[in-house]
Amino acid sequence: MKKTSFLNHLGFFVIAISILGFSSIPIWLGRQAETDSLVFRGTYVDTADYAVHLAMMQAGRLGDWAYQLRFTSEEHAPAFIRLFYILLGHISRVLRLDVETVYHAARWIFGFTALFAIDRLFQKIFSSKTPARSAFFLAVFGAGIGWLQLILGVPLEPISPIDLWLIDAYILFSMALFPSFSLMLALMAAGLHFFLLFLEDGNWKHIVWVGSLAITSQLFNPIAFAVIDLSMVGAVLFHWWRNKKTNFKQGYALLILAFVQMPLFAYNLLILARDPFWSRFTFQNETLSPPSIFYVWGFAPFWLFAIIGIIRSIREQNPTMGAMSTWVVSGFVLAYLPVLIQRRFLLGITIPLAVLAIYGFQYLVTKLPIALQALKKRENLLCFTYVLLASISSLFLTLNSSLYVLGHPSNLYYPRDLEAAIQWLDTNSSPNDFVLAEVQTSQILAQKTHLKVYVGHEMETLYFHNKEAVMQAYFNGTISDEWLSQTPIHWVIYGPYESEIASSFQPSLSLEPVYQNESVKIYKVIQ
């Protein structure tokens, strides 16, 4: 028995490491493809948010716990939000490692944790190993049919297929890029797992675990656990429906879980919705859902079997599958509520979709007509084929991105001269000094140094478009020199990206040249 358990754990370890290794291929290739003149930006998708995450880590490395935006110049009160990357920054300082090393180590550590939590949840849900492992691979690799739309030349308008850019909704995509997403996936899967255990044995220690995981989740992401809360409600309602009676112990458990989450929920609401500064940030932090047809195609391989799984869960009054059905339904309902963070509610949505799809797939196999009975003996092969077809988009995205980074695209690499200039500035400036530069320069600067930037991110820079226009006007020489003295800016960089705005920049008398290499100049603002 012990030997079998050891082999199972060893098998999972090999599978998890292989998945994480596969997801990291584009990043590894990007590092390997660096040249004497080009530096890889560290990721292959969403370099802007990558810069934000590393900038938050820089704040933690400086000793901060309460967070202040590092991409905007307005004075504002720090807030105890978005603590995950702040915490990683503290770890970076304690271990004396650079923030990018810690970030990518965290991708692996929390990616492995997420895979373990999802696998344990599926082992709990399914009575045998084969459907549990099939659901696991489907949840991790399953995506849409964006690859087919691109091959046929019929991408949706006005944006591309979501399985090629909506990081939150696809587990492999999430784990490949953002360790914070992996942590949330682990907390969500583990939380639901413990609650399902509570429904079985009524042991309150499981509720203590769920409450602890929910609070931890809110510290790092105030909305991620909402779909798990609703899933737990769905599980309880299905349980009462099946047993034809109300279980007050389960009802009290839900009330306790709601109660322990309320303080952090209220704090986040007051900060992000009521504070004059942070509410402006919330307004800019817009992640609306696309038209519903995008979700149809974006999860197309799941829908047929998942819908059958939902119907089966209702007919059988199955509390576990009721929880999964509630997660799917509530996730997509929340994704169209009149709020600005709609698609954020779809984090990990392939977890319940995969469970329901395999549940529905199993049911269809049992209902095969006599003429197709021979297929029942090949159920595992059929299931493998289905999972493989559902995974094509994830495989395509990873492999295509790997080829893409090898071509040194300008959005993923920056000049090594800029790297040298940034290192000089990091050494010769004071922490939290403000820098004026073009947006791409500013992002690289914020992720690499302890400095803040005047303009650098559409959501993290308040009034981004106005500031971008002012920055461009400054380099073009169409704005008064007095403007600079009215800002908190300490340094000005003129390099490759700034020269695209103005081929010749004439520094004013208020700027003192302090550094120069072949393509980058740094000026200090004389106060």
Handedness of CA 186, 191, 192, 198 (dihedral sign): positive
Cα 354 → chain centroid? 19
Residue 153 is predicted with a pLDDT of 81
CA–CA distances in Å: residue 408 to residues 34, 35, 176, 253: 8, 9, 20, 54
Closest by alpha carbon to 291, among 156, 148, 147, 151? Answer: 156
Rounded to 10 deg, the angle between the 350-366 and 129-141 helix axes is 130
What b/e string do you get for 79-107 counting C-beta neighbours within 10 Å, with b at 16 or more?
Answer: bebbbbbbbbbbbbbeeeeebbebbbbbb
Instruction: Kindly report, residue by residue over 107-156, the tens digit of the pLDDT.
Output: 999 999 999 999 999 999 998 999 999 999 999 999 999 999 888 887 77
Beta bridge partners of 453: 435
d(CA 313, CA 518): 66
d(CA 84, CA 217): 10
Coil/strand/helix, residue 453: strand
Cis peptide before 158 (omega within 30 of 0): yes
Residue 475 is predicted with a pLDDT of 95
d(CA 142, CA 326): 20
Residue 6 is predicted with a pLDDT of 63
d(CA 465, CA 453): 15
- The CB density around residue 6, as the number of other CB atoms within 10 Å, is 10
d(CA 319, CA 61): 45
Residue 4 is predicted with a pLDDT of 60
Please enumerate in sequence order all residues whose Cβ is within 8 A of that of 365, keeping only pairs 6 or more positions apart, or say none: 375, 376, 379, 382
- Single-letter amino acid code for the residue at 373: Q
Coil/strand/helix, residue 39: strand
d(CA 188, CA 229): 9
Residue 64 is predicted with a pLDDT of 94
Residue 263 is predicted with a pLDDT of 95
d(CA 526, CA 99): 31
Residue 10 is predicted with a pLDDT of 84
Residue 158 is predicted with a pLDDT of 77
- Single-letter amino acid code for the residue at 65: W
Question: What value does the CA radius of gyration of the chain take, rounded to a whole number of Å?
Answer: 25
Mean pLDDT by 10 residues, the chain (527 residues): 65 95 98 97 96 97 94 92 94 97 98 98 94 97 93 80 95 97 98 98 97 96 96 98 95 97 93 89 91 94 97 96 98 95 96 98 81 67 93 96 97 97 97 97 98 96 95 93 90 97 91 96 93
Instruction: Kindly report, residue by residue over 71-81, the tens digit of the pLDDT.
Output: 999 999 999 98
Half-sphere CA count of 223, side-chain side, radius 13 A: 17
The secondary structure of residue 96, as a DSSP letter, is T
Residue 373 is predicted with a pLDDT of 61
Q: Please state, rounded to an integer, the average pLDDT across all residues of the chain.
A: 94
Q: Tell me the two tokens of residue 524.
A: 């200090």
Share of the chain above pLDDT 90, in %: 85
Beta bridge partners of 452: 434
Q: Tell me the two tokens of residue 309.
A: 């799984």
The pTM assigned to this predicted structure is 0.95
CB 281 within 8 A of CB 462: yes
Residue 380 is predicted with a pLDDT of 85
Token pair 């996730």 is found at 331
